[in-house]
Structure 1
Amino acid sequence: MLLRFLFVLACGLGVSASAMAATPSVLTTIKPVQLIAAAVLEGVAEPDVLLPPGASPHNYALRPSDRRRIVNADRLYWVGPDLERFLQQLLDSQLSARRLDEVPELTLRRFDDEHAEHSHDDHQAHESEPEHDEHEHEHEHEHEPGTLDPHIWLSVRNAQHIALWMATDLAEVYPEHGERLQRNAADFVQRLDHLHERQRQRLQPLADKPYFVFHDAYGYLQDSLGIHPRGVFTLSEEIQPGARHVNTLRQQLTAAGPTCVFREPQFPARRVESLTAGLPVRSAELDPLGMDITPDARGYETLLETLGDTLANCLEEL
């Protein structure tokens, strides 16, 4: 009886494993791409995400379990080597991997473009290069001039093109749901058109309000909304800046007058407080990766709404 029970159990487990193996899986490297995929896959499947909350796509260290998830994925969407540098060698030979920075009709920025690097046109307020000594370690700007700005998901138009392209690509994985995928993508595009118009109407009157960011990640969003920062502060969350560097940044803030400073979740709030102490500065947090957003059909819209509202709420108070 025991042998018969073990045989039946083994057969049952075999069927279960086969059924699980037959279920297609969609994996994205970062949360924003997962949010776009979730909108396209609504009612069909739930995409998974590789990077855990708080992890940087610039320098993530793959675990053995991550490698297994990559190999087993029926589709893996990543932005490209300008963002997820740690994946380039592995994904070059991965047939299921799709580079999103190669999707047709995207608008791509480079960090030596007119609106790239530290500022925009007449609002330029470049940092002076601080002198270094053995006790002061400054953080180099993470993006070299001429390289692709990989934050392509922060453009509404790019997100729309990616969604439409994903719908066609995912129809190969879910052929019985091709029409549903196309319909989901079309609905996503229409919703984003309405959201984009609302955000432009709110933010364009604030275009002359000064603000600074700590990460040169928002060029696509800023270009689409018609706003641009006075500067990008190149401080590292890991390295304490030297006194001369902090003084240079405070000089920029003083010259700007009442202004907004936007940090990111991984950047210590106390660093911003020490930098802005005694100045007429408002601070707020922007999260371009949407770490806390639920990956559902409206998740990408929530990401854009959160970013736009955070910008507008602070600038409107100046």
Structure 2
Amino acid sequence: MSRLSLVVLSLVFSLSAHAEVEVLTSIKPLQLIAAAVQDGVGTPQVLLPPGASPHHFALRPSDVRRVQSVALLYWIGPDMEGFLPRVLTGRSQPSTALQALPGLQLRHFDEGEHAHEHAHGDEDEHDHDHRPGTLDAHLWLLPHNARVIAAKMAADLAAADPANAARYQANLAAFGERLDALDQRLKARLTGVVSKPFFVFHQAYDYFETAYGLEHTGVFSVATEVQPGARHVAQMRERLQAVGPTCVFSEPPLRPRLAQTLSAGLPVKLAEMDALGAKVKVDARGYEQLLEDLAEQLAGCLESL
């Protein structure tokens, strides 16, 4: 073998030995957790574009190729991304449905002392299954669960990239310390609004609410584009009138047309809470920013009542 060939082989080996481990997550919150673990080593990618619903997403052929070829893939599970299981059958490398991880604190819909009345439109179109007893898959909104997810990612990355194993573990430890500080900040930020009533259009925030002593008053579970009948609208307005000054939260990028109808002439403020963090920068502190933004969106509206 010539000297040139040896040099080329050496370069190829060197590059492959230090190649970044490709990580793909289904949704942005998981990408933010992965970014904390990979900080300084690599940049995780995300499958769903901003504003896309994880419940109803149509994969393009290029998306299918990414799903089947990436080294490590993380998703919540069939209770969230119902479009993924049939695609994952083509994968030969690891993929992790995070809802099955041991150590998570999981909730199911209509848990707790007070079951919330849902006001449904005449043509109800649920994004996903919120029937009593079904899993609430918005599990990333609990800091404890983010720790469990990050630990799994760090272990997987260390196994796939032993040269950087110490860095992944150090990043994991730093993430845990920052979550301790974040928890204290959020408790301080939200303590003044725990008794104030609010309504949501999507029951996505129960993990976050439970962690910080909050509880939504009701859920207006209606289709975004279908206006319910007059009787249903009247019932919803009666609920809002009975409560008095309150906030009603929708999720970006769309605000249900019903929101304006419900709030007209009432002491109701319309606001948004983004459980997916569409505008959050993807970096080591992105997950913390996601939760801080939620706290600010919630407290900001309730404090203004």
After TM superposition, the score normalised by the length of structure 1 is 0.85
CA contact (8 A) 1:237 1:266 kept: no
- 1:181 is aligned to 168
Q: Do 1:127 and 1:248's aligned partners in 2 also have CA atoms closer than 8 Å? A: no
Deviations 1:39-88 (A, max 9, x none): 00000100000001111111111110001101110000001000001112
- Work out which of the residue numbers 283, 298, 303 in structure 2 matches 1:311: 298
Equivalent residues of 2:197, 2:247 under 8 A apart:
yes
Q: What letter matches 2:109 in structure 1?
A: F
Deviates more, 1:234-243 or 1:59-68: 234-243
Distance 2:47 2:131 in 1: 26
Q: CA deviation at 1:125?
A: 5.5
Q: Which residues in structure 2 correspond to 1:23-38 (within 5 Å)?
A: 23-38=20-35
Question: Quick one: distance in 2 between partners of 1:149 and 1:188?
Answer: 25
Aligned residue pairs, count? 291
Match of 1:219 in 2: 206
Question: Equivalents in 2 of 1:20, 1:54: separation in Å?
Answer: 37
Output the amino acid matched with 2:83. Answer: F
Q: State how far apart, in whole Å, the 2-side matches of 1:220 and 1:235 are.
A: 21
Q: How many angstroms does 1:316 deviate by?
A: 1.3
Paired residue type of 2:65: R
Displacement of 1:19 after TM fit? 6.2
- Please give the root-mean-square deviation of Cα atoms over the aligned residues, in Å: 2.2
Post-superposition shift, 1:267? 2.9
Kindly provide the amino acid, as one letter, of the partner of residue 33 in structure 2: I
Could you tell me which residue of structure 1 aligns to residue 97 of structure 2? Answer: 99
**1:259-302 deviations in Å (ceiling 9; x for gaps):** 01111113336531221010001121111011111111111111
Q: Map of 1:25-104 to 2, 5 A cutoff?
A: 25-92=22-89, 94=91, 95-104=93-102
Secondary structure class of the residue paired with 1:113: coil
CA change 1:20–1:52 in 2 (3 A) is: farther
The separation in 1 between residues aligned to 2:234 and 2:135, in whole angstroms, is 31
Aligned match of 1:233: 220
Does the aligned pair in 1 maintain the 2:120–2:228 contact within 8 Å? no
Structure 1 gaps, min length 5: 1-10, 115-119, 131-135
Aligned to 1:5: none
Aligned pair partner of 1:275 in 257, 262, 267: 262
Structure 2 stretches lacking a partner, 5+ long? 1-7
Structure 1 residue aligned with 2:131: 144
Match of 2:3 in 1: none
Residues in 1 aligned to 2:228 and 2:254: alpha-carbon distance in whole angstroms: 13
Which residue identity is paired with 2:63?
D
Pick from 102, 120, 126: which aligns with 2:117?
126
Mark the CA change 1:299 to 1:266 in structure 2 (over 3 Å): closer, same or farther: same
Are residues 1:206 and 2:193 paired?
yes
Bigger Cα displacement from structure 2, 162-171 vs 304-313: 162-171
Letter aligned with residue 81 of structure 2:
E
Superposed, 1:166-177 pairs within 5 Å as 166-177=153-164
Compare 52-61 and 236-245 and name the one that shifted more: 236-245
1:154 is aligned, of 133, 141, 165, to: 141
Structure 1 vs Structure 2: percent identity of aligned residues? 49
Q: Which amino acid aligns with 1:186?
A: A
Amino acid at match of 1:306: D
Tell me if structure 1 keeps the 8 A contact 2:108–2:135.
yes
Q: 1:20 to 1:247 in 2, by over 3 A?
A: farther
